[in-house]
Amino acid sequence: MATVVRTRPRAARRRLAAALLVPALALPLAACSPDRPAPEDTAADLAAGIARGDVGGLAFSNGTAESVQGHLDAVLEPVSEFAHTVEVDDVVLDEEGDDAGERATATLAYRWDVTQDAAWEYTTTVDLTFAEPGEGEDGPGRWEAAWEPDVLVPDLGQNDRLAVERVRAERAEIVGLDDAPIVTERPVYRLGVDKTRVDAAGWDGAARALAGVVGLDPEEFAQRVAGAGGKAFVEAITVRTEDTAGIDVDAARQIEGVAVLDDELPLAPTREFARQILGRVGDATAEIVDESEGAVVAGDTVGLSGLQRQYDEQLRGTPGVSVSIVPGGETDAEPAEVFAVEPVAGVPLRTTLRPDMQVAAEQVLAGQTSPSAIVAIRPSTGEVLTAASGTAGEGMSTATTGQYAPGSTFKVATTLAMLRAGLTPDSTVACPPELTVDGRAFQNVPGYPTDALGEVPLRTAFANSCNTAMIGQRDAVSQQALHDAAASLGLGVESDLGAPAFFGDVPAEADGTDHAASMIGQGRVLASPLGMATVAASVAAGHRVAPVMVRPDVQPASAEQPAGDLTEDEAATLRSLMRSVVTDGSADVLADLPGEVGAKTGTAQYGDGTQAHAWMIAVQGDLAVAVFVETGDGGSTTAGPLMRAFLDAPNQG
């Protein structure tokens, strides 16, 4: 329902003696002449003219229609964008005195739809007088309006004007697990040229000197400064107060004409903190303004990418509006607000990210020169606690949207399919050094332990990641069974994550070498670090986990998860096998960590076969983690130390 705010008109200093509206037969003879026009008609014409912004053709007792039109345009221009109505509320005819029936007072009712939910409503009065036909004029005469500024707005003076100000709403924070602040107001320095601090001859030099300090194109910035107003502050860059990104702020302060302003902006804890996921805010682009259908105007601060863009409507809130009368002429009087709609602050966006864990993950990845990621999930709830992407990913969220062959980490799904086919951890499987399928030779990773070759238990083959043992079971495990086992672990299953993501893709049909490659997580099998962390989380939880990162409905975290078809017995067997990888296999780098840590390494060749993706997934208590490096030596040697560093980081539990 619309919020209605009424503005009472000032005392009707121009209203004539109040009188009840009486039937026409009770009026003096002059007023009831069948040829004389009624004042109501003139009032209606005036209301309609004001409403459409055109009073041409109307008669006024104290000026021309042209002069009234000019005043009307000047006063109402700031509010012309608002849908509005002007209607006649009533007309009171004056019955007293010698000129009874010759005067009337009309009350006009205005409504301006300032926002979708708030209307500015008020009434004004206008005096009407009857004018007899002039010399040489025919007809019965006419009613004329006495035009005054306050016919338009109560208390409007002769030279006063209206002003409309958009009042920015407070942008909401993005918060993490347990409402820990992530994106919140943080102190910054705004560096720019203040054209009032130096004369015009110094503007160009100040601009070029500042550009040199902050790393901008001197010519481009100098042109920008030259094109700004004579009293403008032309910003060059904004930097965090606590992390100036190598910008010498003190050097900038020494440049004549340069100002360094203290300000605050909604920022994450660090420059790199989940930036690919959170995105950034800034001035609205022309495209965003156009798409908003009036909700956003030029100069508004909006989300430009990531979650800031995806949930911008929720975060930015609703701006307010203030309508004021601005005094005209030479006066010290302040503008008087006559109507206001208070801004409504944005609603915080609640994520499941744990800030300290996210920072720890990003620090672990800091030295990687290849795209990399660490994703951590709480299996009991599916909450994504960390989704860190290394800086070498060139802005891509490697953690959530990367698409890579998962290599031997996929053997968790392959082994589940084998268990369903009747094998057990103690079943004997063949692990030869090489296996040929349709002319293609498949081998184990370089350095595979020779004592784990031959006829070995499935547990040994899994712990040491024997490729040929898995491929050797391709006749017992169909491609459909492999697809279904992966889905039971959450790989390739869409989830209401709340952010863009790739959940994985395991083809349901494949044969020959394609099926053989699928058995070891290559060929057409694809996963993201998020997808493989979900696999680990499902093993830890004992059921398929559906990961969640964003809770836009602002509801408390829920532990409810889909039932799926993974059984606790199956998961327990997989946990036992993953524990063997740590105690007796390729993830022994994690062996001395506390708790029952389980893991699976993965190496997936790509390109011409000389490069490899390095993977490791691990579970430790109520924590499931995936570590990925796009180009590395192997899962054990590249991803393993990163996994250990993350699990061993302070406060990661």
Residue 188: its H or E element: strand 181-194
Pairwise CA distance, residues 626 & 409, whole Å: 9
**pLDDT score of 97 more than 60:** yes
Alpha-carbon span 360 to 363, nearest angstrom = 5
User: How many Cα atoms are found within 13 Å in the side-chain-facing hemisphere of 540?
Assistant: 29
* Predicted pLDDT of residue 378: 98
Rounded CA gap, 130 and 436, in Å? 109
In terms of Cα–Cα distance, which of 45, 117, 118, 57 is closest to 86? 45
Q: Average pLDDT for residues 637-645, to the nearest whole number? A: 97
Give CA–CA dist 567/584, Å, rounded: 26
More confident position, 122 or 168: 122
Task: State both tokens at 255.
Answer: 């440049």
Q: What is residue 237's three-state secondary structure?
A: strand
pLDDT at 609 over 50: yes
pLDDT of residue 420: 97
Structure tokens at 630: 């796009």
Instruction: State in words which class domain 174-347 has.
Output: alpha beta
Mean pLDDT across 362-372? 95
For residue 653, pLDDT over 70 is answered with no
Rounded distance, CA 506 to CA 489, Å? 12
Q: Which residue from 547, 545, 527 is spatially nearest to 489, judged by alpha carbons? A: 545
Burial 267-305 (b: 16+ CB within 10 A, else e): bbbbebbbbbbbbebeebeeebbeeeeebbeeebbbbbb
How confident is the model at residue 608, as a pLDDT? Answer: 80
pLDDT confidence of residue 312? 94
The segment(s) of the chain belonging to CATH 3.10.450 are 3-158
CB 618 within 8 A of CB 590: yes
User: Under DSSP, is residue 293 helix (H, G, I), strand (E, B) or coil?
Assistant: coil
**Mean pLDDT score of the chain, rounded to an integer?**
90
603: pLDDT confidence band, cut at 50, 70 and 90?
Answer: very high
Q: How far apart are CA 222 and CA 299, in angstroms?
A: 22
Q: Where in the chain is the domain with CATH 3.40.710.10?
A: 355-647
Other Cβ atoms less than 10 A from the Cβ of 87: the count is 15
The whole-angstrom distance between residue 54's C-alpha and the CA centroid of its chain comes to 43
- In this structure, are residues 218 and 226 in contact, taking their beta carbons and an 8 Å threshold? no
Q: What is the pLDDT of residue 563?
A: 53
pLDDT of residue 652: 60
Q: H helices within 18-88, ranges in order?
A: 39-52, 65-76
- The top-level CATH class assigned to 3-158 is alpha beta
| Contact in structure between 95 and 102 (CB atoms under 8 Å) | no
Higher pLDDT, 123 or 652: 123
Least confident of 256-260, 327-331, 477-481: 327-331
Question: What are the structure tokens assigned to 471, written together?
Answer: 């491929």
Confidence of residue 229 (pLDDT cuts 50, 70, 90): very high
Q: Which helix (H) or strand (E) holds 310?
A: helix 306-310
Residue 266: the pLDDT is: 81
Q: Looking at the DSSP assignment, which residues form a beta bridge with residue 567?
A: none
3-state SS of 376-389?
EEECCCCEEEEEEE
- The pLDDT tens digits of the residues spanning 7-42 come to 333 333 333 323 323 333 333 334 445 578 899 999
The residue among 565, 559, 560 whose CA lies nearest residue 543 is 565
What confidence tens digit (pLDDT) does each residue in 136-191 have? 677 788 999 999 999 999 999 999 999 999 999 999 999 999 999 998 888 999 99
- pLDDT of residue 294 exceeding 90, the answer is no
pLDDT of residue 558: 46
C-alpha torsion angle, residues 460, 462, 467, 468 (rounded to 10)? 50
Nearest-CA neighbor of 101 among 188, 17, 32, 11?
32
The SS3 call for residue 318 is: strand
Query: In the chain, where does the domain assigned CATH 3.90.1310 lie?
Result: 174-347
The pLDDT of residue 364 is 97
List, in order, residues 6 or more apart from 550 with CB less than 8 Å away: 307, 311, 349, 350, 351, 352, 497, 498, 499
Q: Which CATH class is domain 355-647?
A: alpha beta
Q: Residues 234-280: pLDDT tens digits? A: 999 999 999 998 999 999 999 999 999 999 988 888 888 999 999 98
Write out pLDDT tens, residues 338-352: 999 999 999 999 999
Provide the whole-model pTM. 0.80
For the chain, report the end-to-end CA distance as a whole number of angstroms. Answer: 49
- Return phi, psi of residue 220, to 5°: -65, -45
Q: Name every residue whose Cβ is closer than 8 Å to that of residue 201 and which is 6 or more positions away in sequence.
A: none
Asked if residue 187 lies in contact with residue 264, where contact means CB atoms within 8 angstroms, the answer is yes
* Cα angle: 221, vertex 226, 227; to 5 degrees: 100
Residue-wise pLDDT for 432-441, tens only, equals 999 999 999 9
543-552 mean pLDDT = 92
